[in-house]
Structure formats: structure tokens, C-alpha cells
């Protein structure tokens, strides 16, 4: 099975072909925004990290930016550096250059300030955009696909309709030789033993339990027990009887295939196939960045209340489990899984529709969030304090 | 929207989730699986929207299965067609006592 993608020098296949305008630090965002606004074919990654953080977090920010630059939907990179930031912008440029993609860097302090940096950055971005804009899509095998998964703004329909549809698609991608990555470690609580049983070996199973424990310990460090009071009184009123049921409703979107391993937040997928976990939080700006930097060409996102978010370089396909929300937010939602709950369609039927849609999106069809440009609010997940 | 539906998400499940308003004692509910196959079931008791119904008799202590996995154990005998919730299902995990 094929889709039409951009073949990269390193063999990866992109579903989009953007020039990433990448601030190496929050202090470069305004210059980067001006450049991205002026030059066609660019995507701005306006995160809020990169300085006055502890060394492990600064490494994590550099690693994440490196991974984003390597991701197949990015065709070229312009790094916008202030000059005195904590991230390692030289390593960022070297890492992207190794993939064979064009990469440039500008330094605001060295260029003489904001206006001069904007002018130099526009020139550099225009050159990069011209360099990659003629690239043609070519047929690529579905096994080159890395699918990412998330649910957000969930309601009672998510665990019964949209998450089940995404689980169906996840199994299909794995069976066709592709890669699927899911995260949201917080949601594993209560069902982590079931995920651990799905691991290919005890080492991977232990790692799954470890990332859940670490996440709970971070919450305990500021005095919160995340297990306490689950399911909530509102959940019980809605029909959820146990924390197992609640968590299973979330992780059903990962499908049923064995879990091959656990990726760290900034890790990239190269030739790993099958189903993987990535240790991420659930909040959109951070998990979307984490998934895009994995190398995922797209995300399939389940919602019930209606989450509109996207990501600058990665199309996000919204599968809505609530038929009322779908109609109400039709310009943000891509597929109506609520028809399962009205009895008009089965889980398998909507699963096939979602699969057909993702092939179109991989080949260039825009998602609702892309057409409405809802993709600017991103961030990189860090663990320590700002200092 | 006239059908009184319950969805069974995994073939191994012994409960389904109701997506119909005012499912009352003695009424009939249509249980649909993921392929769209359905069968009728007589309801015992009143079951709210979004809550669960037993698809078979479940003995005390037996696993209650949804998504093909255990979501807890029966705290008393449950009859086919009966309402399943916190009154007859005990969580086996995650109450801060792990």
C-alpha cells in the first residue's frame, strides 16, 4: 500500500515539506515570527524554552529541536539564535546538516539586533524555501509511516467511539509494517499492569511501570497523589466504575499489538517498527512537539468535547466521538465517530474511513486544523525548574 | 436515533455500554459489536446513558471484562441484562493502596 510523500536524503518520507523556522530559545521568538510571517512555505516552532534552565533540561531542549529538524515533514531548517542562550545551537545545525537537508543559522546579537536579524532571516528563509519548493511527491510504502496518537478534551464518548476507531487504525498500521507511537503516561495509571503485559519482554514491561512511577513521584514531590480519588465522582456519575475502566478507555486507542519499547521524550524513530510508547505528558503543546520530533508524519487525535489544536509541521486528524460536537465544531473536526453511538456505523467501518482519510492526508490533503492555521501554540516538555 | 443501543467494544467483553436515554426495567436493548452485528437483550433494572449492562450471568468474584480486559470483579452475583456499576463491581487496583 502506497502514499505520495517527499523522499528525504536519509530515506525517510515526509507528508509535508516545510522550512522550519526554529528559535533556539524563547528570546528569539519575535524575530522568528516576523520571518515566518513573511516567507511562504515556512512553519514556525515558537516554544518557550532554551535558557535559565538546569543542564538536563537544556540538553532535552536541544535534543528535541535536533529531532524536530530531522523529522521527515521538515525539508529545511533556519535556526534563529539570540547568541547567549543555553541550548547548543551549533549541535542543532550539525545534526540537521547530517540528514542532508539545507540548514542555516542567524544570530540576533551578532547581526546587530532585531530589525537586521529579521532582514537577514527573511533572506535566508526565502533561499531555503526556494531550494525545497520544487520537490515532487513520489510513491512511498505505508511501512515508512510513523503514526502518533493522542486524545484530548475527552468525554464519555471518547472511550467508546473515537479511541476505538484509532485503536483499529493503529493495529492496521502495525500490521502493514509501519510504526505507531502513543504517549500520555499519566493516563496509564490503573492500567499500567495491562500495558506491561503487552510488552514484548519483561525489560520493556518494567520500563513501562517505571515511567508511570516516575511521573507519579514528580506529582508527589509537590504534594499530589494522582491515584487518589480515581475515578472521580463525575466519572462515576458518567458510568465509569473503576480506574481500570477509565484508563483502558484511554489506552484502547493504542490498539492491541505488542509494545516494542519505550522512547524518551526527545527520541526519534529511525527503523523501529510496530507499536511504541513515548514518555510524554498529556497536555497538547508538549505532547504534539514530542510526537512530531519522533518523526511522526501525522497524528490521529481523539476528542469528544472538541479540541482544535494542531502542530506547525505535522497534520493532526481529529476523530470526534461525540456526534453533537462533530456537527457543532465541524470546521475543526475531520471525522465523525459519533455515528457508532447512533448505530449508523460500526467501529470497524469508521476505522476504515479513518484509514482512507489518513492516506489522503499523508499524500497532501489538508486537515481542518491546517486549513484554519490552528497550530501555533507549541512547547517543549521540561522536567526541572526555571532558574 | 430511535434505536436503543448498547455498544460491545471487544468480542470477549461480558458488559456493554448503553447509549440510549431512559433504559428501564423490562425494556429491550440492542447490543452492537464492533463489526455492527447486533442482538436483543432484556434489561433488568433502570440503566442510565453511558452506563453498563451485563451480557451474561457473572458469578461473585468473576472478572468483569470491557475492552477485552478486566475492569474489576463482581462483588455479588450479576444476572444477564442487569445494570453493572460500583454497587456490584469492585476495582482491583489503584485506590492508593497499590
Contact A176, A1 (CB under 8 A): yes
Q: Do B9 and A160 touch (CB under 8 A)?
A: yes
The answer to whether residue A166 is domain-embedded is yes
Q: Which phi and psi angles does A334 have, rounded to 5°?
A: -95, -30
User: Using 50, 70 and 90 to split pLDDT, how confident is the model at A256?
Assistant: very high
* C-beta of residue A338 within 8 angstroms of C-beta of residue A324: yes
Confidence of residue B3 (pLDDT cuts 50, 70, 90): confident
What number of other Cβ atoms are within 10 A of residue A177's Cβ? 14
Question: Is there a single domain that holds both residue A300 and residue A338?
Answer: yes
pLDDT for B13: 98
Decide if pLDDT at B97 tops 70: no
Residue A382 inside a domain? The answer is no
pLDDT at residue A322 tops 50: yes
- The edge-to-edge listing of strands for the beta sheet with B69-74 is B63-66, B69-74, B89-90
- Taking CA atoms, A80 is separated from A26, A56, A208, A323, B58, in Å, by 10, 22, 36, 43, 63
Q: From CA A248, how far away is CA B72, in angstroms rounded? A: 12
Query: What is the pLDDT averaged over residues A196-206?
Result: 97
Instruction: Based on the fold, state whether residues A223 and A87 are members of the same structural domain.
Output: no
Mutate to test the interface with A, among B11, B14, B35, B93 (most CBs of A within 10 A): B93
Residue of A70, A18, A68, A22 lying closest to A44 (CA atoms) = A22
Give A167: exposed, middle or buried? Use CB within 10 Å, 0-12, 13-18, 19+. buried
Span A17-27, mean pLDDT?
98
Numbered residues of chain A with Cβ closer than 8 Å to any chain B Cβ: 156, 160-161, 164, 168, 189-191, 193-194, 225, 227-228, 230, 236, 238-239, 241-245, 248-249, 252, 256, 340-343, 345-349
Chain A residues in contact with B19 by the CB 8 A cut-off are 160, 341-342
pLDDT of residue A364: 98
User: Is A381 contained in some domain?
Assistant: no
Q: What is the pLDDT of residue B95?
A: 47
Nearest in space to A254 (alpha carbons), one of A208, A293, A219, A323: A208
Q: What's the whole-number average pLDDT of chain B?
A: 92
- β-sheet with A179-182: strand ranges across: A259-263, A274-278, A179-182, A146-151, A298-303, A316-320, A335-336
Cβ contact (<8 Å) for A239 and B52? Answer: yes
Average pLDDT, chain A: 96
Do residue A148 and residue A289 come from a single domain?
Answer: yes
Shortest Cα distance, chain B CAs vs residue A116, angstroms: 57
Query: Which member of A156, A168, A349 has the closest CB to residue B50?
Result: A156
What is the spatial distance between Cα A350 and Cα A353, in angstroms, rounded to a whole number?
A: 5
Q: Closest to A341 (Cβ–Cβ): which among B7, B70, B95?
A: B7
Is residue A12 domain-resident? no
For testing the chain B interface, which of A219, A244, A344 should be mutated: the one with the most B CBs within 10 Å?
A244
pLDDT tens digits, A335-358 = 999 999 999 999 999 999 999 999
- Fold of the CATH domain B5-90: 2.30.130
Of B9, B67, B96, the CB nearest to A228: B96
CA pair distance A369, A329, nearest whole angstrom: 12
- Taking contacts as CB-CB distances below 8 angstroms, the residues of chain A near B2 are none
Asked whether residue A205 is assigned to any structural domain, the reply reads yes
First to last CA, chain A: 50
pLDDT at position A270, please? 87
- H helices then E strands: how many in chain A? 14, 14
Residue B93 has pLDDT above 80, yes or no: no
The cell for A61 is 531542549
Grid cell for residue A359: 492516506
- Res. A272 pLDDT band, cuts 50 70 90: very high
**Shared domain check, A365 and A270:** yes
Residues A344, A195 share a domain = yes
- C-beta of residue A183 within 8 angstroms of C-beta of residue A275: no
Per-residue confidence band for A229, with pLDDT thresholds at 50, 70 and 90 = confident
The Cα angle at residue A67 between residues A66 and A69, in degrees rounded to 5: 65
CATH, residue A111: 3.40.50
Q: For residues A175 and A250, state if they share a domain.
A: yes
User: How big is the CA angle at A49 (ends A44 and A54), to the nearest 5 degrees?
Assistant: 155
Whether A150 and A181 share a structural domain: yes
User: Which residues in B lie closer than 8 A to residue A194 (C-beta atoms)?
Assistant: 69
Closest CA relative to residue A15, chosen from A26, A24, A6, A27:
A6
Q: ipTM of this model?
A: 0.94
Per-residue pLDDT, A80: 98
Within 10 Å of residue A210's Cβ, how many Cβ atoms?
14
**Which residue's C-alpha cell is 468473576?**
B62
* A131-163 pLDDT, tens digit each: 999 999 999 999 999 999 999 999 989 999 999
Query: How far, in Å, CA of A203 to CA of A261, rounded?
Result: 9
Domain span at residue A313 reads 143-371
Question: Is the same domain home to A165 and A239?
Answer: yes
Could you say which DSSP state residue A13 is in?
E
Query: Domain boundary residue among A104, A132, A160?
Result: A132
pLDDT confidence bin for B2, thresholds 50/70/90? low
Cβ(A161)–Cβ(A340) under 8 Å? yes
Q: How far is CA B69 from the centre of its chain?
A: 13
pLDDT at A318 over 90: yes
Residue A81 CA to residue A210 CA, distance in Å, equals 36
Query: Are both A155 and A52 inside the same structural domain?
Result: no
Q: What is the pLDDT of residue B98?
A: 41
Question: Rounded to whole angstroms, how far apart are CA atoms B6 and B19?
Answer: 6
pLDDT one-digit tens code per residue, A30-42:
999 999 999 999 9
CB contact under 8 A, B94 and A190: yes
Q: How confident is the model at residue B96 (pLDDT cuts 50, 70, 90)?
A: very low
Q: Do B89 and A193 touch (CB under 8 A)?
A: no
Query: In three state form, how does the secondary structure of B16-55 look?
Result: EEEECCCECCCCEEEEECCCCCEEEEECECCECCCCEEEC
Reported as a single tens digit per residue, the pLDDT across A82-122 is: 999 999 999 999 999 999 999 999 999 999 999 999 999 99
pLDDT above 90 (res A190): no
B37-65 confidence digits (pLDDT tens)? 999 999 999 999 999 999 999 999 999 99
In three-state secondary structure terms, B66 is strand
> What is the C-alpha separation between A92 and A82, in angstroms, rounded?
14
User: Is the same domain home to A155 and A118?
Assistant: no
- Taking the CA atoms of B90, A201, A188 and A240 in sequence, report the sign of the dihedral they define: negative
Instruction: Please check whether residue A387 lies inside any domain of the structure.
Output: no
Q: Does residue A96 sit within a domain?
A: yes
**Between A164, A225, A242, which is nearest B72 by CB?**
A242
Q: Quote the number of domains for chain A.
A: 2
Give contacts of A252 with chain B, Cβ < 8 Å.
9, 67
Q: Is residue A380 part of a domain?
A: no
Shared domain check, A295 and A182 = yes
Cis before residue A142, ω within 30 degrees of 0? no
Same domain for A163 and A56 = no
Amino acid at each position: 500500500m502506497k502514499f505520495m510523500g517527499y523522499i528525504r536524503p536519509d530515506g525517510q518520507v515526509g507528508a509535508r515539506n516545510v522550512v522550519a523556522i526554529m528559535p533556539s530559545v524563547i528570546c528569539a521568538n519575535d524575530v522568528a515570527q516576523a520571518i515566518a510571517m513573511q516567507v511562504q512555505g515556512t512553519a514556525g516552532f515558537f516554544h518557550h524554552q532554551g535558557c535559565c534552565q538546569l543542564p538536563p533540561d537544556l540538553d532535552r531542549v536541544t535534543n528535541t529541536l535536533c529531532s524536530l529538524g530531522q523529522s521527515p515533514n521538515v525539508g529545511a531548517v533556519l535556526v534563529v539564535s539570540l547568541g547567549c542562550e543555553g541550548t547548543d545551537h551549533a549541535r542543532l545545525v550539525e545534526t540537521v546538516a547530517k540528514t542532508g537537508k539545507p540548514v542555516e543559522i542567524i544570530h540576533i546579537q551578532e547581526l546587530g539586533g532585531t530589525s537586521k536579524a529579521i532582514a537577514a532571516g527573511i533572506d535566508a528563509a526565502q533561499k531555503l524555501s526556494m531550494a525545497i519548493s520544487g520537490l515532487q511527491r513520489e510513491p512511498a510504502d505505508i511501512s515508512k509511516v510513523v503514526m502518533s496518537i493522542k486524545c484530548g478534551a475527552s468525554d464519555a464518548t471518547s472511550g467508546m467511539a473515537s479511541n476505538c476507531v484509532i485503536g483499529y487504525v493503529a493495529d492496521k498500521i502495525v500490521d502493514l509494517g509501519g510504526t505507531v507511537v502513543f504517549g500520555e503516561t499519566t493516563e496509564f495509571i490503573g492500567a499500567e499492569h495491562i500495558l506491561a503485559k503487552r510488552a514484548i519482554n519483561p525489560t520493556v514491561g518494567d520500563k513501562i511501570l517505571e515511567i508511570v512511577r516516575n511521573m507519579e513521584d514528580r506529582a508527589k514531590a509537590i504534594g499530589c497523589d494522582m491515584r487518589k480519588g480515581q475515578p472521580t465522582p463525575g466519572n462515576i456519575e458518567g458510568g465509569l466504575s473503576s480506574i481500570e475502566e477509565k484508563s483502558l478507555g484511554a489506552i484502547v486507542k493504542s490498539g492491541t499489538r505488542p509494545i516494542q519499547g519505550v522512547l524518551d521524550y526527545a527520541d526519534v524513530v529511525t527503523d523501529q517498527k510496530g507499536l511504541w510508547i513515548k514518555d510524554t505528558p498529556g497536555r497538547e503543546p508538549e505532547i504534539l512537539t514530542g510526537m512530531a520530533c519522533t518523526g511522526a508524519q501525522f497524528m490521529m487525535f481523539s476528542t469528544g468535547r472538541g479540541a482544535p489544536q494542531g502542530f506547525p509541521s505535522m497534520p493532526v486528524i481529529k476523530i470526534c466521538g461525540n456526534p453533537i460536537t462533530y456537527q457543532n465544531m465541524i470546521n475543526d473536526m475531520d471525522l465523525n465517530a459519533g455515528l457508532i453511538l447512533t448505530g449508523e456505523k460500526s467501529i470497524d467501518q469508521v476505522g476504515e474511513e479513518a484509514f482512507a482519510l489518513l492516506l489522503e492526508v499523508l499524500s497532501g490533503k489538508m486537515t481542518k486544523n491546517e486549513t484554519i492555521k490552528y497550530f501555533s501554540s507549541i512547547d517543549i516538555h521540561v522536567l526541572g525548574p526555571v532558574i | 436515533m430511535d434505536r436503543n443501543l448498547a455498544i460491545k467494544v471487544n468480542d470477549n467483553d461480558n458488559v456493554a455500554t448503553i447509549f440510549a436515554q431512559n433504559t428501564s426495567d423490562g425494556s429491550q436493548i440492542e447490543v452492537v459489536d464492533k463489526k455492527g452485528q447486533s442482538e436483543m437483550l432484556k434489561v433488568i433494572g433502570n440503566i442510565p446513558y453511558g452506563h453498563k449492562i451485563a451480557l451474561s450471568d457473572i458469578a461473585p468474584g468473576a472478572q468483569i471484562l470491557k475492552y477485552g480486559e478486566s475492569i474489576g470483579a463482581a462483588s455479588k452475583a450479576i444476572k444477564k441484562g442487569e445494570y453493572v456499576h460500583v454497587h456490584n463491581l469492585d476495582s482491583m487496583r489503584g485506590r492508593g493502596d497499590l
